[in-house]
Amino acid sequence: MPIGNWVLQSACAAQREWRKQGLPPVRVSVNLSARQFLHDDLIRDIRGLMGDGGCAPGSLELEITESMVMRDPDRVVALLRELRHIGVRVSIDDFGTGHSSLAYLKRFPVDSLKIDHSFIAGVPDDLGDVAITHAVIGMAHNLGMKVIAEGVETKVQRDFLANQGCDEYQGYFFSAPVSAEEMLALIAPPARKSAPASS
């Protein structure tokens, strides 16, 4: 719990610093542990972080796994609704590797599904991975969710996913992991060229 709270605080602190520097809003995703997600004080802690001038509504996304949402589906539905009410986005991480029930999935008010990298690694050559990826993208869109592909490492993979209608991507094709300071160079708008001095 202390480590999980520290990660959330650090994410909000980084966002606060980026805003001070005039950078455009950036959504930050934080993985939650099962214990942290189902902790009785989660909503209170999140409200506190957002109320301290930290993460703006819509700019914080919590990532949870399929196994976490299936532990107590009815409680999770209520929790997800509370998170959405206070402006926190939620994504299901590593989708396809757990044991979620599609009957419950349609009830969960989540914003996005993240396709596990184990399926992305085989596209577009592995027909099984292609079929699964295509099916997940179609299902998620029909349920009103965005789709994020994990582990994109090549242009061929990115192009295939784009043609399938995937919404967002993450992986080494775009960038290796970087520190909060190094992120500044990635998200800062291009510097405006100064006008030539008049003679």
pLDDT score of 199 = 34
Q: Profile the chain (199 residues) by mean pLDDT over runs of 10 residues.
A: 86 85 85 90 88 75 88 89 93 79 80 94 95 94 95 97 96 91 80 42
Residues 1 and 69 both lie in one domain: yes
pTM: 0.86
pLDDT score of 187 = 81
Q: How is residue 161 written in tokens?
A: 């996913």
In a domain, 198, yes or no: no
Residues 120 and 76 both lie in one domain: no
Q: Which domain holds residue 50?
A: 1-91
In a domain, 25, yes or no: yes
In a domain, 153, yes or no: yes
Q: What CATH number is given to the structural domain containing 5?
A: 3.20.20.450
pLDDT score of 193 = 37
Residues 81 and 124 both lie in one domain: no
In a domain, 96, yes or no: no
pLDDT score of 190 = 72
Strand partners, 76: none
Residues 19 and 78 both lie in one domain: yes
Q: How many domains does the chain have?
A: 2
CB-CB contact of 32 with 11 (8 Å): no
Residues 86 and 118 both lie in one domain: no
Residues 72 and 28 both lie in one domain: yes
pLDDT score of 18 = 84
pLDDT score of 100 = 63
In a domain, 104, yes or no: no
Residues 122 and 176 both lie in one domain: yes
pLDDT score of 148 = 96
In a domain, 101, yes or no: no
pLDDT score of 96 = 77
In a domain, 174, yes or no: yes
Residues 78 and 148 both lie in one domain: no
In a domain, 68, yes or no: yes
